[in-house]
Homo-oligomer: A and B are copies of this chain.
Amino acid sequence: MKIEIIAVGNEVLYGHTVNTNASYLARSMQKLGISPMYMTVIGDDSDVIKEAVQLAMKRTDVIVLTGGLGPTPDDLTKEVVCEILGLSMEIIPEELEKLKQYFEKRERAMTSNNQKQAAFPKEAYILANDCGTAPGCILEQQGKTIILLPGPPKEMKHMFDNYVIPFFKEKVSHYYESIDIKCFGLGESELATRIAPLLGDGEGVNVATYVGKGEVIVRIAAYATEQAVLTDKIDAMKEKIEQCLGPWIIGYNNEELEEKVVSLLLKQHLTVATVESCTGGLIAATLVNCGGVSICFKEGIVTYSNEAKMKYVGVKKETLDSVGAVSEETAKQMAEGIRKATGADIGLSSTGIAGPGGGTPTKPVGLVYIGIAMPQGTEVFKLQLHGTRQENRERTVKEILFRLYKKLQ
């Protein structure tokens, strides 16, 4: 099956929006064992769209278009594709009704230009847009499959995952499965060295490493004509990799570190409280992102000033005067202080210089102390980070959650 992905939109063509849609589609297709042969980006110009779709119909079997389904006169994808295929469109009452409800629910006015989003040829298999206004569609015409998806990534992803993948699944005859093993605390090359003999292709199994957001991902991918064989292959390789990388593994596939931490806290009936300086609430916000966290997380404090550090968690003035706010001792007192002040089983603290300013020769930008106070004692970790302000703060959150995760295991 030859596939072309075409993104339509000036914002992509002019470089203001990076074409993450195409990458997402390609990665999602890989889970089905299929890959695109071409990715194309073109602007909101009906002649160019027409020519590109006609070319794609000549050189591929399946064409996935993203973008150009919006309400404005710029949005031309559906119109041009129908013109090429010689199909006429009409307003589909059910789709118009859904649109009306969408706007009513949000108490927003539906403008007349939204109407065209409900127009489709009767030959179209309409794909619901559960996250926005533009429905997509699948057209099977002239021996080709043309799939129209909206441009906003959130809408596109949801539509593809829920309505297009099942459609593709019927078309592919082999089984494919992949699993991502997320690791933290090892660089990519060190990690790759540890699993060097397992990397690459072998007996229908491929192992590769990728750099994720603050993590390194080991992906195992396998094909097979039988599901049982496939599962065996994946499981056997997974075990081998776990033997090599066990201490650094923080989760599988879409599992997030904070979810693992919250799940361990709940299982062990432990509560946690946070006191944050350089992370400014991001540790709390990350924990609170997990549903059901209210049982183990009751409160958190952002003590950005020295006064707040003394007032809420009893950091000693002498400590702040002598070794300063960014110090092992302050991190320790903060973590222990929040534990005491809240009665939580575990106290987490952060204090550091996130940057870009504020560094000194002895306390450079990126110096961060994180504290974990538990019934069995307090431990403080010193980090020296090298990213932007935002990256340093995100990294600090990952680091403290990783240390806590190891302690809870």
Contacts and interface: CB of A to CB of B under 8 A. Distances in A.
Interface of A: 10-20, 22-30, 35-43, 48, 52, 55, 70-74, 105-111, 113-114, 133, 152, 180, 187-190, 192-193, 199-200, 208-211, 219, 274, 276, 278-285, 287-289, 291-294, 297-305, 307-308, 311-312, 342, 355-357, 384, 386, 389-390, 393
Contact of A285 (B189, B210, B279): B279
Contacts of A282: 281-282, 285, 288
Contacts of A114: 189
Contact of A30 (B14, B108, B199, B357): B14
Nearest to A357: B291
B288 A302 contact: yes
A281 B302 contact: yes
Nearest to A298: B305
B18 A18 contact: yes
Main secondary structure of the interface of A (DSSP, over half): mixed
Given A193-B113, A281-B281, A274 B302 contact: yes
Contact of A108 (B107, B190, B389): B190
B37 A72 contact: no
A133 B342 CA distance: 44
Contact of A39 (B40, B293, B300, B305): B40
A27 B39 contact: no
B19 A39 contact: yes
Contacts of A43: 35, 37
22 contacts: A13-B36, A13-B37, A15-B28, A16-B180, A19-B22, A37-B43, A38-B42, A38-B52, A40-B41, A72-B188, A74-B208, A105-B386, A152-B211, A278-B288, A282-B282, A282-B285, A284-B302, A289-B389, A289-B390, A292-B357, A299-B311, A302-B302
Contact of A208 (B10, B110, B356): B10
Contacts of A108: 187, 190
A267 B235 CA distance: 60
Contacts of A291: 355-357, 389
Contacts of A386: 105-106
Contacts of A208: 10-11, 74
Contacts of A389: 289, 291
A189 B72 contact: yes
A127 B406 CA distance: 39
B299 A192 contact: no
B289 A294 contact: no
A301 B219 CA distance: 40
Contacts of A42: 37-38
Contacts of A109: 190
B111 A72 contact: no
Contact of A14 (B18, B35, B152, B305): B35
A392 to B, nearest CB: 11
A371 to B, nearest CB: 17
A105 B364 CA distance: 13
Residue picked from A24, A35, A302, A357, most chain B C-beta under 10 Å = A302
